[in-house]
Amino acid sequence: MSSVSIPKSEGEALSHPEWRQTMIDEMCALQSSGPWELVSLPPGKSVVVCRWLYTVKFGPDGKIDRFKARLVAKGYTQIFGLDYSDTFSPVAKMASVRLFLSIAVIRHWPLHQLDIKNAFLHGDLEEEVYMEQPPGFVSQGESSTMVCWLHRSIYGLKQSPRAWFGRFSTVVQ
């Protein structure tokens, strides 16, 4: 585990081929879900700060599985009433999980499992949120001072769990 070090800055990560590639992959994942549009910051609006997070994923055998870079918003730079309001999101109760398992056993039903990739990138934002451009991927020229107007939630926003669950709930129903 000590053989790999987590980059301390975008510059350091970008100069490292493996980390650089994971950042490009994450930017592709973000762009394919179309979460933002570059705009000039409207007056009276505030900008949410973001950063990169780097993690090394280990396999069950303890060996390095893959490198992962994730762009996250710094939720603590958000302002209540301006770029977020409600944040509550339900999660399964443990009692429901146990009941689920019990019924499945009694009725001899199979239990299936799946997970949603990049779940929080699918949430629809109700609020008007502006975020700075991702460090290391700022567009050149005139648009360099522009900000990202978020259409979809991203990791780190206070309302992301709620936005995701709202969307999931709609799709399932």
Partner 1 sequence: MIRSQSDHSVFYHHSSQGCIYLIAYVDDIVITGSDQQGILQLKQHLSNEFQTKDLGKLRYFLGIEVAQSKDGIVISQRKYAMDVLEETSLSNSKPVDTHVDLNVKLLPN
Which residues contribute to the site for partner 1 (CB under 8 A)? 89-94, 96-97, 100-101, 103-105, 107, 109-120, 122, 161, 164-165, 168-169, 171-173
Instruction: Give the shortest CB-85-to-partner 1 separation in angstroms.
Output: 19
Distance CA 27, CA 47 (A): 20
Which residue's CB is nearer to partner 1, number 94 or number 142? 94
Residues in the chain: 173
Place of tokens 């978020």: 150
Nearest alpha carbon to residue 23 among 146, 100, 134:
134
Residue type, 126: E
Minimum distance, C-beta of residue 93 to partner 1, in the bound complex (Å):
5
Least distance (Å) from partner 1 to the CB of residue 88? 10
Asked if residue 20 lies in contact with residue 102, where contact means CB atoms within 8 angstroms, the answer is: no
Cα 13 to Cα 67: distance, rounded to the nearest angstrom: 11
Nearer to partner 1, 109 or 128 (CB): 109
Task: Identify which of residues 59 and 90 has a Cβ nearer to partner 1 in the complex.
Answer: 90
Which residue's CB is nearer to partner 1, number 57 or number 111?
111
